Amino acid sequence: MDLRGEVRDRWERARAVGAANPWAVDIGLALLVQAAMTLPFVVPRPAELEPATWPAYGLTTLTVVPLVWRRRAPLTVLLAILATSGLYRVAVEGPGQPLPYTGLVIVYTIAMLAPPWQRLVTALLMAVAVPWSVWLNTQSARELTFSLFVFAAAYVFGRLTVTRRRADRVEAEQAAARERARIAREMHDILSHAVSLMIVQAEAGPVAVRTAPERAEAAFDAISETGRDAMAQLRRMLGVLREGDGPGESPRAPQPDIAALHELVERVRASGLDVGYETSGGVRTLSAATGATVYRIVQEALTNVVRHAHARSASVRLRYAEGVVGIVVSDDGRGAQPGSAGHGLVGIRERAAAHGGTAVTGPGPDGRGFEVRVEIPVIPVTSGAEVGS
């Protein structure tokens, strides 16, 4: 993981901890503000000024304490801070602060959490309180301009935080939708392929029992093997949904890859369809995601052949070229029938598009049968991936 990703993950974990422990966060923030406001009391003052007193420090602390409740009653906290800050100005001789820390924190909080009417009340209060505070202090236009600027900046940062959180929520919802679509495609591919092969074998079984008992036994064995394979894949997928993606848990995407295509082809052959499989070009390493996509595309294309094509034979060809892997699945069946492929061809196109690739379907060579042509860009992988053969 790169440094930026690590920082982002740590920030997200910190946000999650903060969301789970808001009281702890607010108490910690109040202590941090208290530490900042303590510095002028511990730094030696010029000899001509009176030393800082404990009553002044106590009143400073009283100004900070309301921040602990800033999320629960932000407008009330603002009123308390204005009251204690005004009392500090007129009742004690204490050191000044380089920044109005408590005011900035509560204005930021109100901008981030409060409803519109409270934000309007806050703007009106600050429009009175800031000039009044400047008049009690230096009566200078410079201080007034600076004070208005920092409070406006605190408000803007609060609103930007709201915008960012909304954007994060939308992004999370979109990611969840994409994940639901991915899981739906996986479930469709697994079940559609397995059920299609089992139906073909089951339909051939009774005929084989009467004419070739040894073939009937092979058909029933194929049904059993296909069912077990589908159950194993479904268990792995459900295990991912139950356990998540943490250390020691099931991996997020326990999917077959391109190396499993031989097994897939053999399983389809067992259903009675003569399937050829060949590769061309310089075989190269594919990433796990690309390998899984190639496998699922071939699986769905062969499933459509078994279910709809009434074909005697089919072929699967992989072509490795510079920066791309091509997939061609063709058959000698009856060709495309309206509505016959269901969601299968849509899923193939979606999988290809997810990798920046293309999928074209239509009649096979010389207008016979049906053909699926897919091209997927290949990102170079140096290690950690399986090589198709």
Q: What's the angle, vertex CA 28, arms to CA 27 and CA 29, rounded to 5?
A: 90
pLDDT at 237: 67
How many other CB atoms are there within 10 angstroms of residue 89's CB atom?
A: 14
Kindly state the average pLDDT of the residues 29-51.
Answer: 82
The top-scoring range by mean pLDDT among 157-161, 298-302, 308-312, 366-370 is: 157-161
Q: What is the distance between the alpha carbons of residues 386 and 333, in angstroms, rounded to a whole number?
A: 33
Q: What is the distance between the alpha carbons of residues 34 and 20, in angstroms, rounded to a whole number?
A: 24
Q: What is the distance between the alpha carbons of residues 276 and 255, in angstroms, rounded to a whole number?
A: 23
Residue carrying structure tokens 């994409």: 178
**Would you give the distance in Å from CA 246 to the centre of its chain?**
15
- The pLDDT confidence band at residue 343, using thresholds 50, 70 and 90, is low
pLDDT above 90 (res 243): no
Instruction: Name the segment(s) of the chain with CATH classification 3.30.565.10.
Output: 257-389
Mean of per-residue pLDDT scores for the chain: 80
Q: Give me the amino acid identity at 58.
A: G
Q: How far is CA 350 from CA 171, 268, 297, 342, in A?
A: 20, 24, 10, 14
pLDDT above 90 (res 86): no
Judged by average pLDDT, the poorest of 25-39, 127-141, 309-323 is 127-141
pLDDT tens digit sequence for 19-39? 667 888 889 889 999 998 888
Give the largest CA-CA distance in the chain. 116
Q: Which helix (H) or strand (E) holds 68?
A: none
pLDDT at 76: 93
Q: How many residues does the chain have?
A: 389
pLDDT at 85: 85
Bridge-based pairing of strands 358-363 and 370-377 is: antiparallel
**Topology of domain 257-389, CATH:** Heat Shock Protein 90 (3.30.565)
pLDDT above 80 (res 91): no
**Burial group, residue 121, by CB count within 10 angstroms (0-12, 13-18, 19+):** middle
| Residue 314: φ, ψ to 5° | -150, 165
Contacts of 33 (CB under 8 A, 6+ apart): 64, 67, 101, 102, 105
CB 326 within 8 A of CB 373: yes
SS3 (DSSP) at 40: helix
| Residue 276: φ, ψ to 5° | -100, 150
**Burial group, residue 354, by CB count within 10 angstroms (0-12, 13-18, 19+):** middle
Residue carrying structure tokens 């991915």: 182
pLDDT at 3: 63
pLDDT tens digit sequence for 375-384? 999 876 654 4
- What b/e string do you get for 253-269 counting C-beta neighbours within 10 Å, with b at 16 or more? eebbbbebbeebbebbe
SS3 (DSSP) at 145: helix
How many other CB atoms are there within 10 angstroms of residue 64's CB atom?
A: 23
